[in-house]
Amino acid sequence: MDSRYLPVLPALFLCTCVLAQTDWPAKPLRLVIPVAPGGGTDYLGRMLAQKMAENLGQAVLVDNRSGAGGSIGALTVARAAPDGYTLLLGYTASHGINPALSKLPYDPAADFTQVSLIASAPNVLVIHPSIPAKSVQELIVFAKGRKEPLRYASAGIGSAPHMSGEMFNSLSGTNFVHVPYKGNGPALNDVLGGHVDLIFAALPAALQHGKTGRLRMLAVTGLRRASQVPDLPTVHESGLKGFNTDQWYGVLLPPKATPALLARMHREVLSVVKSQDFVEKAQGQGFDVIGSSPEQFRAHIVAEVAKWKRLVAEVGIKAE
C-alpha cells in the first residue's frame, strides 16, 4: 500500500484505533453507488451490499449518488471518514474516463484506499440489422464506402460508449458521428428503432436484442471473449489491435484507511465476490468476476487514466 495513505500517529493513538476496530462493524455500513438506481452498475452494487450484509451481520445501506459521470458519489467517499463504514463502488467513468477528461476535485488513485477490483463487463458493438455488415471488417468497409457517415449513439459525452466509438474511429480510420443521449436506455432505443446506426452497448443490455435479431452483435470490446457469448470475437482480434474498452468495477474506501482495516475489508469483499452465488448471479447479468489485490487495483486505475488521457488528447474530446 502507498505510504501516502498512512498517517504518522502517536503509538498510543494507533493502539486505540486498532483496539476500536476489533468490534467492527458495530453499526450499518454505507455503500455509495455513483449512478442512479437501475442498470448494471446499480445491480452489481446491490448484490455486493446484500452479500456483505449477510456475512457481516450488519446492514449495508445503498446510497445512490448519481451525477457528473460518477464524480459526485466518488467525491462523497473521498471526503468521508476512513472508519470502515463508508465504501464506494467505483467504476470506469468515476476512476478512469472522467479524470482523463477534466480536472476533478479528487485524485482517482491518491484520494482513495483501493480494496479490490470485483468485476468487469464488456461492451458489445451492435448495429441495426439494416446495415449489411456481419463483421467488424465488413462494417469498416461499408462505412468507408458511404457518402454519409454512420452515426453511433451513446449515453453522453465521456461515457464508455462514446469513448469506445472514438477509439474505434481512431484505430479504424472511420468517421462515425457521435450522437449523445441522456442515458443508455434512450440511446439503445434509438438504435433499435433504426434512428441511429450503431452503439457500443453494455453486454447485459444488448444480449437479449442480439438473440432475437433486433440488433446484430459484431464484437465485444475487451481483450478477451465474453463467457456469455464465446463465439463472438473481440474488436481487438477482428483487426483493431489494442482495442479495449471493458467496463470495470471495484470497491474503494476513503483515504488513510489503516492497514488493519484494509486487510479486513479486502478479506470480506473477496469472500463475497468469490462465492458461488455471487459469481453465478453476476455472470447471469453479463459480468465477469475478478477479485484483485489493493496494489493491483491501484495500478489498474493509474493505467486506465493514462489510456483515456492519450485518447482524449489525440481526438480532442471536450467535457460537457
User: Who's near 47: CB < 8 A, 6+ residues apart?
Assistant: 278, 281, 282
CATH of the domain spanning 123-220 = 3.40.190.10
Residue linked to cell 483496539: 19
Instruction: Give the CA distances from residue 233 to residues 194, 209, 248, 290, in Å, rounded to whole numbers and listed in that order.
Output: 24, 18, 19, 21
At 23, the pLDDT band (50, 70, 90 cuts) reads: confident
- Return the percentage of the chain with pLDDT > 90, whole number: 73
Strands 177-180 and 151-154: parallel
The reported pLDDT for the residue numbered 157 is: 84
At 184, the pLDDT band (50, 70, 90 cuts) reads: confident
CA atoms within 13 A on the CB side of 146: 18
**Burial of 80: CB neighbours in 10 Å, binned 0-12, 13-18, 19+:** middle
Residue range 195-236, pLDDT digits in tens:
999 999 988 788 889 999 999 999 999 988 988 899 999 999
Task: Kindly report the CATH class assigned to 3-121+246-315.
Answer: alpha beta
Residue range 35-51, pLDDT digits in tens:
888 778 899 999 999 99
Q: What share of the chain is helix, strand, coil (3-state, %, to 5)?
A: 45, 20, 40
Residue linked to cell 470502515: 84
Task: Enter the C-alpha cell of residue 134.
Answer: 456481419
Strands 113-121 and 247-253: antiparallel
149: amino acid identity, one letter: P
- State whether residue 248 is helix, strand or coil: strand
Residue range 131-175, pLDDT digits in tens:
999 999 999 999 999 999 999 999 888 888 999 999 999 999 999
In the chain, domain spans: 3-121+246-315, 123-220
Same fold, 3-121+246-315 and 123-220: yes
> How many Å apart are CA 273 and CA 47, to the nearest integer?
10
Give first-to-last CA distance, the chain, whole Å: 35
Higher pLDDT, 21 or 293: 293
- Beta strands in 267-313, from DSSP E residues, in sequence order: 288-289
